[in-house]
Amino acid sequence: MDFEFSPKEQAFRDEVRAFIKANLPPAKQRNSDFLTNWLTKVREKRWVGFAWPKDVGGADGSIAEQAILKEEMALAKAPPLGTSFMGLAWVGPGIIQYGTPEQKKRFIPDILDSKVSWCTGYSEPNYGSDLASIQTKGVRQGDHYVVNGQKIWTTGAPWADWIILLVRTDFAPKVKHDGITCLLVDMKTPGVEVRPIENMAGDRHFAEVFFTDVKVPVANRLGEEGKGWSVTVSALANERSSIGEVTQMFEKLDTLKALVKNTRRKGKLAAQDSSVRRKIAEFEVKIAAMKYNGLRYLTKQLKGEPLSSETSVNKMHRASLEVEMDDFAVSLTGQAGLELKDGAEAVGRGKWAKASLNWPNVVIGGGTPNIQRNIIAERILGLPKDGSD
């Protein structure tokens, strides 16, 4: 057991640190020029799509180097390495694995260069976490598919240029998961309508997307017709170690510590209240557990062992921490903690109040805690299925 990295990996870490030192100004001085500049520079380094094969423009970075890059960037609070988040997370890997040479040539560079942003059209009304029951229809007509139907909870749809879409092309497949096809669709295609959904925090990250006789060239089909399921699953299965997330959680913990050190409550400093200290320590222990869980799973990957559902463990920790840390911050300061941005007594300019309403996907999205519990109980502990997943 050791936490040392190989000389090669250490050298890479030094390279990343040097780059950050040279190119990352303090947060205050980061204007839009800086960002464009930054994106170009990290692109030149091939740190965007770092894990992707060289031939498509990646760097074929090792798992250890990926972890190092993530960790250093997170530690430096660096801006993202690319702005096409879904493109980098889901679409790129999918195209690399299943795409035609033309599709790779056409789509990958724009993702790496942050020129085109993507969203993912999986969920549908009434079929939240049940992807296999997709109803949106795709009918082949000559060299096009004509798409009709509706998607929902499509994150990023309000500003996305393209969408990776699952449609049903066969309503009577022999195998349950067959008959679904994966299409790459230009959001500007006639018949695509986006209706943003406002969440309880007043934001509009996600949307309903309606498709009415939308014509999609067959050339934009990803993978074989009827095999869209496997395309998606392998994309979703594209699990990475949670090193980056953990670093962010530790940062959040630090801001929380700063808050309790500067909050007077019940006549004394919150940081001196033993129940407050206990709560913060509980957060720290959980986050530390996520860190060392993550390192154990990373080690498995490094040894070439497949990651089973263990990643659900950290997902469950994150889901509870994401809700509890903000809620705790809000609860510390009574009504002041509930004042929004411009409130006279607002705490942290309302950021905690806002965050306490802005739950990430890990809490509310597909893989909610109850689903993670089932995954662990059934796939790891081997308990019988109850049909709820």
Partner 1 sequence: MNFGFTEEQELLRDQVRRFMQDACPLTEVRKLMKSATGTSPSLWRQATELGWLGLIIPEGFGGIGLKWVDLTVVLEETGRGLCPLPIISQTLAAAALLRCGSDAQKQKLLPTLADGSRVGTLALYDEPNWVHPDAVKLTLEGSRLKGTKPFVADAGAADLFIVACRTSDELKLAIVDRNTSGVSVAVQPMMDETKRIGTLTLDVALADAQLMPLTTDDLAYLSDCGAVAVTAESVGAAEAALAITTAYAKDRIQFGSPIGKYQGVKHRLAEMFVDIESFKSLSYYAAWTVDDAPAELPRAASLAKAYASDAFARIGIDGVQLHGAIGFTAEYDIQLFLKRSKWARPMFGDSDHHYERVAALGGL
Rule CB under 8 A: which residues touch a second copy? 273-275, 278
Task: State which of positions 154-183 bind partner 1 (CB under 8 A).
Answer: none
Q: How far is the CB of 102 from partner 1 (least distance, A)?
A: 35
Q: Which does 339 bind (CB under 5 to 8 A by kind): partner 1, a second copy, none?
A: partner 1
Who contacts 95 (Cβ-Cβ below 8 Å, separation ≥6)?
A: 103, 104, 107, 108, 184, 222
DSSP 102-156: HHHHHHHHHHHTT-S-EEEE---TT-TT-GGG---EEEEETTEEEEEEEEEEEET
Q: Which does 44 bind (CB under 5 to 8 A by kind): partner 1, a second copy, none?
A: none
Give the interface segment with partner 1, choosing from 17-25, 48-56, 226-234, 266-274 (CB under 8 A): 266-274
- Rounded to 10 degrees, the C-alpha dihedral 352/353/357/360 comes to -10
Tell me the number of residues near partner 1 by CB under 8 A. 103
The answer to whether residue 60 forms part of the interface with partner 1 (CB under 8 A) is: no
Quick count: other Cβ atoms within 10 Å of Cβ 154? Answer: 25
72 is catalytic: no
- Would you say 161 or 273 has its CB closer to a second copy? 273
Who contacts 130 (Cβ-Cβ below 8 Å, separation ≥6)?
A: none
- Would you say 35 or 371 has its CB closer to a second copy? 371
Q: How far is the CB of 365 from a second copy (least distance, A)?
A: 24
Q: How far is the CB of 370 from partner 1 (least distance, A)?
A: 4
Q: How far is the CB of 215 from partner 1 (least distance, A)?
A: 29
- Would you say 29 or 274 has its CB closer to a second copy? 274
H-helix or E-strand containing 277? helix 274-302
Binding pattern for the stretch 325-364 against partner 1, x by CB under 8 A and - elsewhere? --x--xxxxxxxxxxxxxxxxx---x--x--xx-x---xx
**Residue 184 near residue 220, CB atoms below 8 Å:** yes
The answer to whether residue 236 forms part of the interface with partner 1 (CB under 8 A) is: no
Q: How far is the CB of 199 from partner 1 (least distance, A)?
A: 5
The answer to whether residue 293 forms part of the interface with partner 1 (CB under 8 A) is: yes
Which two structure tokens, joined as six digits, stand for 311? Answer: 């990643």
- Would you say 12 or 90 has its CB closer to partner 1? 12
Task: State which of positions 81-120 bind partner 1 (CB under 8 A).
Answer: none
The answer to whether residue 26 forms part of the interface with partner 1 (CB under 8 A) is: no
- Would you say 189 or 374 has its CB closer to partner 1? 374
Q: How far apart, in whole angstroms, are the C-alpha atoms of residue 366 and residue 274?
A: 37
Catalytic residue among 198, 239, 251, 345: 239
Q: Are strands 206-217 and 192-197 parallel, antiparallel or unpaired?
A: antiparallel
The answer to whether residue 210 forms part of the interface with partner 1 (CB under 8 A) is: no
HEC string of 10-73 equals HHHHHHHHHHHHHHCCCHHHCCHHHHHHHHHHHHHCCCCCCCCCHHHCCCCCCHHHHHHHHHHH
The answer to whether residue 2 forms part of the interface with partner 1 (CB under 8 A) is: yes
Q: How far is the CB of 86 from a second copy (least distance, A)?
A: 37
Q: How far apart, in whole angstroms, are the C-alpha atoms of residue 246 and residue 370?
A: 22
Q: How far apart, in whole angstroms, are the C-alpha atoms of residue 98 and residue 217?
A: 17
- Would you say 114 or 241 has its CB closer to partner 1? 241
Residues that are catalytic: 239
